[in-house]
Amino acid sequence: MTNQNPTHETALAFRALHIPGRPLVLPNAWDTASARLVEEAGASAVATTSAGLAWDLGTADGDRLDRDRALGAVARVAAAVRVPVSADIESGYAKDAAGVGDTIRAVLAAGAVGVNIEDALYDGEGDDGEGVGDGGRGPLRPVAEQAERIAAARAAADVAGVPLFINARIDTVLRGAGGVEETLERAAAFLAAGADGIFVPGAVDPGTVKSLVAGVEGPLNVLVGPGAPSVAELAALGVARISTGSSIAQAAHAVVRRAARELLSAGTYDSLAGGLDYAELNTLLGGAR
């Protein structure tokens, strides 16, 4: 008998978008306006950026945002668009695996059908943002500990009857904590624990990407920005998902600072050229979902 649960069907549709060589391309959003604009541009799904979302809520990125505020923002994004939504939940907004399970239940209640869960370790107060805090535990969670957190996420989604797409983010390359071999070891453990895909930010060198595609037994997600290979080049390497992360939010905020500084110093407005038409934006964001 076919499951008629709309969330179940949306989750299946999102899962089907991850095709090696025909990647799901995600211009990450951080609020309802950016989500609607991404959808209007033709995106097949909307993924949040934890950094952009945290900044929008007046908090630094890096496990400093609490679960309720983060998922409240995710719920607003999910309510604003018709396409599937994936939520970047940092390391799960929880201290232990049981708490990650609670977060997943809240993610599903918010209307998202995918999550990113990262293995970077932010060790409480005093964390310098580079992964080493007062405890000095190092930049990444131990493999077994992270696998337990992913397994808890999988179990929570399974109990809810939703085929949630769990994208396991591995920060070996981004944080200089390992190369391809270490990344593949983590990927294998996380996939065995219940992850569906592997996300390796910082891996854009074609040789590295090719090795990861060959070695990961699941869809590979890479992070792009200025200087990275094109979507077509990454597709040819077999990548299944491409994300911009916080890059679009950073670019948008750069316009704010540039325009404000120009106005307050030179008293001119050239930085505002090229803005979206007021009526077009008002119609898009004021219309029904």
Give the pLDDT of residue 138. 64
**Could you report the per-residue pLDDT of 205-216, keeping only the tens digit for each?**
999 999 999 999
Give the pLDDT of residue 4. 56
Per the prediction, the chain carries an average pLDDT of 93
**Could you report the per-residue pLDDT of 97-117, keeping only the tens digit for each?**
999 999 999 999 999 999 999
Tokens at residue 186, please? 């983590």
**Could you report the per-residue pLDDT of 4-44, keeping only the tens digit for each?**
578 999 999 999 999 999 999 999 999 999 999 999 999 99
Give the pLDDT of residue 125. 36
Average pLDDT over residues 57-75: 97
